[in-house]
Amino acid sequence: MIKSSEQKEDSMDAAGETAGEENISYLCMKYNRHQKGDNLACQDPGLYCKFRPACLIHFKEKENRQDRRRMDSSGD
């Protein structure tokens, strides 16, 4: 029989976070800082970053920007 505490541990990922979007913490590899929430933004988007091709913060920021453009173009 599985205890409720064991079930809770099974629902957490390797970083110890739940699968809910609002609880995800994204790591900036360049500055070693975490960001949470929907307002993800690159700290220095104009500067070179060797981690940018694999950066989840950059990817989510780009995805949000594309979604806003789609919403703006469909709202005309």
Query: Does the pTM of the predicted model rise above 0.75?
Result: no
**pLDDT: is 54 or 22 the higher one?**
54
* Residue-range domain boundaries for the chain: 22-74
16 DSSP assignment: S
How far apart, in whole angstroms, are the C-alpha atoms of residue 68 and residue 76? 13
- pLDDT score at 21: 56
The CA-atom distances, in angstroms, between 30 and each of 35, 62, 69, 73 are: 13, 18, 28, 34
CA distance 69 to 71: 5
Rounded to the nearest integer, the mean pLDDT of the chain is: 78
Residue with tokens 């360049």: 30
For residue range 3-25, list pLDDT tens digits in order.
544 444 444 444 444 455 567 89
